Structure 1
Amino acid sequence: MPYLTYEEYIDLGFEEMEQSEFEKLLKRASGVLDSITRYFYRHNDLESDVEFRKEQFKKALAAQIEYFYDMGATSSHGINEPGHVQIGRTSVSKGGRNSSGQDEQKNNLVSDDVYTYLSGTGLLYRGIGVRS
């Protein structure tokens, strides 16, 4: 069973798209969120979970779908831009330095909004229990 329906996606106020496009992106975005949450909802029922966590997970999934749609790609290779392009004598380099002066190299596969929605839900951390 999918984590999010097209109707829920629209009701949450995210960018409208064809339902067939949504269905395609839903599968890829669900895989990304499964990985981030260490497959929590593969082992637990989303619909019977606490309302807050369920709602935040669905918003995070919708944000990831919208991100894939806006970027026009669903893989890190398709999303990440080359750092340098040269055509003839024209050269363009991607700028971007962080506060320490180092080039920013980050995986842009996951929307920053996903982490914002999942923050405070407990879904980003799965610690190991200690037995005494």
Structure 2
Amino acid sequence: MRYITFAEFEELTERTFEISEEEFTKLLPKSSAILDSATSHFYKLNSLEKDHAFRRNQFKLALCTQIQYFHSLGATTFEEINNTPQTFQAGRTSVSNSSRYNPNGANESKPLLSKDVYVYLDGTGLLYSGVNAW
């Protein structure tokens, strides 16, 4: 099931993010899977279109953010995202990727889920991780 169309993506991002429809289509399944995992597969069990308009919109905005994140990184798997060398050397020139957590850049990995997703999902109930007694 597709949660959003390319036209919706363009509308929700106000066309401020340049991405081709082909790239969008390529990134949508993995981005959707990541959000499904973060939301305990809420929309696998419930209808997105029948849900409250606010929560539906916030979920779609979070999905747009995840697509943008993957597009910006140029990767969609943990291995691709974190398989960039922290330091490389060519002759006498050495280049190190800095880290916000560790001054020498070592032992840092980026998450699969964009931190910006929380901006949209916080307060919607979709991040609830408690036990649900059906």
Instruction: Note whether the superposition's TM-score is higher than 0.5.
Output: yes
Q: 1:83 to 1:46 in 2, by over 3 A?
A: same
- TM-score with structure 1 setting the length: 0.83
Aligned partner letter, 2:116: D
Q: 1:96 to 1:28 in 2, by over 3 A?
A: same
More displaced 10-residue stretch of structure 1: 17-26 or 2-11: 17-26
Asked whether the equivalents of residues 64 and 114 of structure 1 are also in contact (C-alpha less than 8 Å), the reply is: yes
Q: Deviations along 1:36-86, whole A, 9 cap, x unmatched?
A: 111111111111011111000000001111111122111122222322323
Q: Deviations along 1:4-62, whole A, 9 cap, x unmatched?
A: 11111000125132212111110110011111111111111111011111000000001
Q: 1:19 to 1:95 in 2, by over 3 A?
A: closer
1:86 maps onto 2:89 in alignment: yes
Unaligned stretches of 5+ in structure 1?
Answer: none
RMSD of Structure 2 on Structure 1 (CA): 2.4
The aligned length equals 129
Asked whether the equivalents of residues 85 and 92 of structure 1 are also in contact (C-alpha less than 8 Å), the reply is: yes
Q: Secondary structure at the match of 1:3?
A: coil
> In 1, Cα distance between the equivalents of 2:128 and 2:38?
9
Structure 2 equivalent of residue 121 of structure 1: 124
Structure 2 equivalent of residue 42 of structure 1: 44
Q: Secondary structure at the match of 1:91?
A: strand
Deviation at 1:103, TM superposition (A): 6.1
More displaced 10-residue stretch of structure 1: 86-95 or 9-18: 86-95
Deviation at 1:125, TM superposition (A): 1.3
> Following TM superposition, where does structure 1 have runs of at least 4 consecutive aligned residues deviating by more than 6 angstroms?
none
> In 2, Cα distance between the equivalents of 1:105 and 1:97?
9
Q: 1:117 to 1:92 in 2, by over 3 A?
A: same
- TM-score with structure 2 setting the length: 0.82
Asked whether the equivalents of residues 98 and 104 of structure 1 are also in contact (C-alpha less than 8 Å), the reply is: no
Percent identity at matched positions?
Answer: 48
